[in-house]
Structure 1
Amino acid sequence: MRIHITDEAANWFKREMELDDGESVRFFVKYGGSTPVQHGFSLGVRKDFPDDPAAAVERHGHAFFIESTDEWYFDGHDLYVGYDPKLDEPVYEYPKH
């Protein structure tokens, strides 16, 4: 699996999460909600440091990653993170790889 994040989305996370240099963002599974990939679970986001990443990408000095313990959630899909300027928020897509 892979993570793709646009520069605009990375800048949004940096601004909204007030990321300091070198801080990382983890995408993790949380109970509740629904996505095109899993029902009953959704994607959470928090500042964290990688321990055993299944996928990671770096943008503007910040790592964006998914831990191996959460890889099951993606069920063979990649994570694409874009940005919607009208809503001023990230947009998530889960293409099958």
Structure 2
Amino acid sequence: MNIQVGEKARAWFKNEMDVNQGDYVRFFVRYGGSSPLHEGFSLGVSKDEPMEIGVKSELDGVVYFIEQKDLWYFDGHDLRVNYNEKLDEPEYEYVKSS
């Protein structure tokens, strides 16, 4: 599994969540909402220290990660994080891992 975070999404995290070099951004499973992978669950994001990293990607000195306990949610998919200009927020895309 891989995490890819687009340049515009990284800028959004920097501006909206005050993410800077040396920080950690966690993508986590939350109860409620829906996603293309699991009804009743959705993806959340927080600026958070890791406990047990399952997968990570370091870009511009920032570590984007998913905890080991949340990997089930991705069900063999990579996570692509892009920026939705219309909604002015990150947009998540789940792409089957090859």
TM-score bracket for the superposition, by shorter chain length: over 0.9
Q: Can you give the 5+ residue segments of structure 2 that lack an aligned partner in the other structure? A: none
% same residue: 55
The separation in 2 between residues aligned to 1:59 and 1:87, in whole angstroms, is 24
Residue in 1 that maps onto 2:28? 28
TM-score, scaled relative to structure 1: 0.93
Residues 1-97 of structure 1: pairs in structure 2 closer than 5 A: 1-97=1-97
The separation in 2 between residues aligned to 1:65 and 1:17, in whole angstroms, is 15
Once the two structures are TM-superposed, the CA of residue 73 in structure 1 deviates from its matched residue by 0.6
SS of aligned partner of 2:96: coil
Q: Can you give the 5+ residue segments of structure 1 that lack an aligned partner in the other structure? A: none
Name which of structure 1's ranges 83-92 and 73-82 shifts more when overlaid on structure 2.
Answer: 83-92
The separation in 2 between residues aligned to 1:20 and 1:56, in whole angstroms, is 16
Once the two structures are TM-superposed, the CA of residue 23 in structure 1 deviates from its matched residue by 1.3
SS of aligned partner of 2:95: coil
- Superposition misfits of 4+ residues, deviation over 3 angstroms: none
The separation in 2 between residues aligned to 1:21 and 1:51, in whole angstroms, is 19
Once the two structures are TM-superposed, the CA of residue 43 in structure 1 deviates from its matched residue by 0.4
Name which of structure 1's ranges 70-79 and 16-25 shifts more when overlaid on structure 2.
Answer: 16-25
Name which of structure 1's ranges 54-63 and 71-80 shifts more when overlaid on structure 2.
Answer: 54-63
TM-score, scaled relative to structure 2: 0.92
